């Protein structure tokens, strides 16, 4: 019983296990089928997406290619338009249009002229070909010469020679109709003339000259013909050739005698105006009278009479006091007038005694030194023999400058101070004018007794002396 029971139980257990295995297998199968269907759907969706992406990429590529073709076509159209505009903007196409028209009009005239001579048409056709061909071959050779900076004069001459032959042939054939002869002859020359004008502009462009340079060169030839011819001659006479500016400067100096830009008339006008300005400036720098009752006062120094053998002299310190104040200028004038009257009354004094008195007064003991005693400022007065004369302006200015100094030694000290100051400025590399010297003595000189207004002539003389000394030629001075 037990074994049978056990066997049945095993069978039942196996059956249960088999059912469980089947159920598990069915579940696994269902799960597998579900996963497979999901994967298939996903795969289908992915495939659809990929297909859609490929379509979009293909469409985008097609659009890009279309846009690229459009851009390329637009760029080509733009470049073509630019080339066309550049061609239209250049003079050569228009010149060639005129040239071709001229050839087309002149060609039948030359052909009919040769045919009229009895030449067969084949040979007659060659005549205008080599005549017009030779003309424009020479013209094109000239264009090549200009572009390559070669001589082009021979090509120009031969171009006009062949064109003249063609014009003569056309005019001869139509002598019975003068108007038509002129038209056909002009047709052979008109194209050459237009071409020459075009080559003229190209020669300027090849030479690097703009409109302003061309206009300036033309004005130079018109306004200064002698200088222009001389400059051209100089450039041909020198090896290597001078530059245009150097030749012009040398030619101007040779013809005009001055630096470029100056002429004889310009220098005369400048000197005349400079003299007027210098005279006005000198008058402006002279001391002015001060409005005061002292103008009408009596002279501060009494006038005394001297004998015929004595020398007339006034105390130098008195002269300095009188001339120190511009308000006393009238007193000085009256004192000078009194002195002139006394000198006239005293007659001709002994020259030796006068010279000895002057030497004692100036303390110039050495005979080789001549005292610096310029003539008095007398203006216009009658001489002893009755003849009148006007003293030179330089002499009057020198006399006035010397009168301001108390003694010749002081005058020489002032001149020495002026020369030393000018020398100092020259050694420092500065330019000095006569107004600078005048300003230095009026306001800047350390010695107070030397401060006064100096005239133009005195200042210019000191500058010349300092320049001579600066250049190696020492100035003359008084020896004590």
- Stretch among 189-198, 243-252, 378-387 having the lowest mean pLDDT: 378-387
Note the pLDDT tens digit of each residue in 341-372. 545 544 444 444 444 444 444 444 444 444 44
d(CA 418, CA 475): 12
d(CA 167, CA 109): 10
Whether residue 175 is predicted with pLDDT greater than 70 in this model: the reply is: yes
Place of tokens 């001078």: 242
HSE (CB half, 13 Å, CA atoms) of 116?
A: 11
439 confidence band (pLDDT: 50, 70, 90): confident
320 confidence band (pLDDT: 50, 70, 90): low
Q: CB–CB of 263/437 below 8 Å?
A: no
149 confidence band (pLDDT: 50, 70, 90): confident
Q: Hey, which residues does 382 pair with through a beta bridge? A: 388
Q: What is the 3-state secondary structure (H, E, C) of 375-433?
A: CCCCCCEECCCCCEECCCHHHHHHHHHHHCCCCHHHHHHHHHHHHHHHHHHHHCCCCCC
Q: Which residues contact 339 (CB under 8 A, 6 or more apart)?
A: 303, 312, 314, 376
User: Higher confidence at residue 204 or residue 136?
Assistant: 136
Note the pLDDT tens digit of each residue in 447-477. 766 777 778 888 888 888 888 888 764 444 4
- Stretch among 66-75, 154-163, 213-222, 309-318 having the lowest mean pLDDT: 309-318
Q: Is 208 helix (H, G, I), strand (E, B) or coil?
A: coil
Give me the mean pLDDT over the 242-268 stretch.
84
Its pTM stands at 0.37
Alpha helices in 286-327 (DSSP H): 316-324
d(CA 60, CA 139): 58
Whether residue 284 is predicted with pLDDT greater than 80 in this model: the reply is: no
158 confidence band (pLDDT: 50, 70, 90): very high
Whether residue 161 is predicted with pLDDT greater than 90 in this model: the reply is: yes
164 confidence band (pLDDT: 50, 70, 90): very high
d(CA 132, CA 107): 8
- Return the pLDDT at 480: 42
Q: Which residues contact 248 (CB under 8 A, 6 or more apart)?
A: 220, 227, 231, 260
Q: What is the DSSP letter of 294?
A: G
Phi/psi-derived region of residue 303, left when phi > 0, alpha when psi is between -120 and 50, beta in every other case: beta
Q: CB–CB of 210/129 below 8 Å?
A: no
Give Cα separations from 455 to 142, 358, 428 (angstroms).
71, 25, 25
- Return the pLDDT at 1: 46
321 confidence band (pLDDT: 50, 70, 90): low
- Stretch among 268-282, 322-336, 383-397 having the lowest mean pLDDT: 383-397
Note the pLDDT tens digit of each residue in 24-82. 888 887 778 777 888 888 888 888 888 888 888 988 988 999 999 999 998 998 888 88
Place of tokens 């462009």: 205
Q: Which residues contact 97 (CB under 8 A, 6 or more apart)?
A: none
423 confidence band (pLDDT: 50, 70, 90): confident
- Return the pLDDT at 295: 47
- Return the pLDDT at 204: 65
User: Higher confidence at residue 399 or residue 421?
Assistant: 421
Distance of CA 443 to the CA centre of its chain: 41
d(CA 332, CA 287): 14
Domain ranges of the chain: 1-89, 91-206, 211-256, 267-342
Long-range contacts of 152-159 (CB under 8 A, 24+ apart): 152/199, 152/203, 156/196, 158/134, 159/135, 159/192, 159/195, 159/196
Q: CB–CB of 343/302 below 8 Å?
A: no
Whether residue 219 is predicted with pLDDT greater than 80 in this model: the reply is: yes
């Amino acid at each position: 019983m037990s074994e049978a029971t056990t066997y049945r139980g095993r069978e039942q257990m196996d059956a249960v296990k088999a059912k469980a295995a089947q159920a598990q297998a069915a579940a696994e199968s269902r799960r597998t089928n579900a996963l497979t269907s999901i994967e298939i759907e996903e795969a289908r969706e992915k495939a659809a997406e990929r297909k859609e992406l490929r379509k979009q990429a293909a469409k985008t590529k097609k659009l890009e290619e279309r846009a690229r073709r459009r851009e390329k076509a637009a760029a080509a159209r733009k470049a073509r338009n630019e080339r066309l505009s550049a061609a239209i903007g250049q003079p050569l196409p228009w010149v060639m249009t005129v040239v071709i028209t001229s050839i087309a009009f002149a060609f039948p005239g030359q052909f009919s002229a040769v045919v009229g001579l009895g030449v067969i048409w084949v040979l007659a056709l060659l005549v205008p070909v080599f005549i017009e061909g030779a003309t424009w071959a020479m013209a094109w050779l000239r264009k090549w010469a200009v572009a390559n900076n070669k001589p082009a004069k021979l090509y120009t001459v031969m171009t006009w020679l062949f064109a003249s032959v063609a014009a003569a042939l056309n005019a001869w054939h139509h002598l019975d109709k003068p108007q038509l002869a002129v038209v056909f002859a002009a047709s052979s020359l008109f194209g050459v003339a237009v071409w020459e004008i075009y080559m003229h502009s190209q020669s300027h462009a090849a030479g690097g000259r703009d409109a302003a340079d061309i206009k300036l060169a033309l004005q130079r030839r018109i306004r200064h013909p002698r200088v222009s011819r001389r400059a051209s001659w100089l450039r041909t006479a020198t090896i290597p050739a001078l530059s245009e500016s150097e030749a012009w400067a040398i030619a101007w100096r040779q013809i005009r005698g001055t630096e470029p830009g100056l002429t004889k008339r310009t220098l005369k006008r400048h000197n005349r105006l400079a003299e007027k300005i210098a005279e006005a400036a000198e008058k402006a720098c002279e001391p002015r009278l001060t409005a005061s009752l002292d103008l009408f006062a009596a002279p501060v120094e009494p006038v005394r009479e001297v004998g015929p053998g004595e020398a007339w002299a006034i105390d130098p310190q008195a002269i300095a006091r009188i001339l120190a104040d511009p308000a006393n200028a009238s007193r000085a004038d009256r004192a000078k007038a009194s002195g002139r009257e006394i000198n006239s009354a005293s007659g001709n004094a002994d020259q030796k005694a006068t010279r000895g008195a002057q030497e004692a007064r100036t303390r110039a003991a050495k005979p080789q030194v001549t005292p610096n005693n310029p003539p008095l400022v007398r203006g216009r007065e009658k001489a002893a023999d009755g003849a009148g004369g006007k003293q030179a302006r330089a002499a009057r200015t020198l006399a006035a400058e010397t009168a301001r100094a108390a003694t010749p030694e002081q005058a020489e000290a002032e001149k020495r101070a002026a020369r030393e100051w000018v020398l100092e400025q020259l050694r420092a590399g500065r330019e000095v004018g006569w107004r600078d010297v005048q300003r230095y003595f009026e306001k800047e000189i350390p010695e107070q007794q030397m401060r006064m207004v100096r005239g133009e002539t005195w200042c210019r003389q000191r500058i010349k002396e300092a320049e001579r000394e600066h250049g190696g030629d020492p100035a003359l001075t008084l020896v004590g």
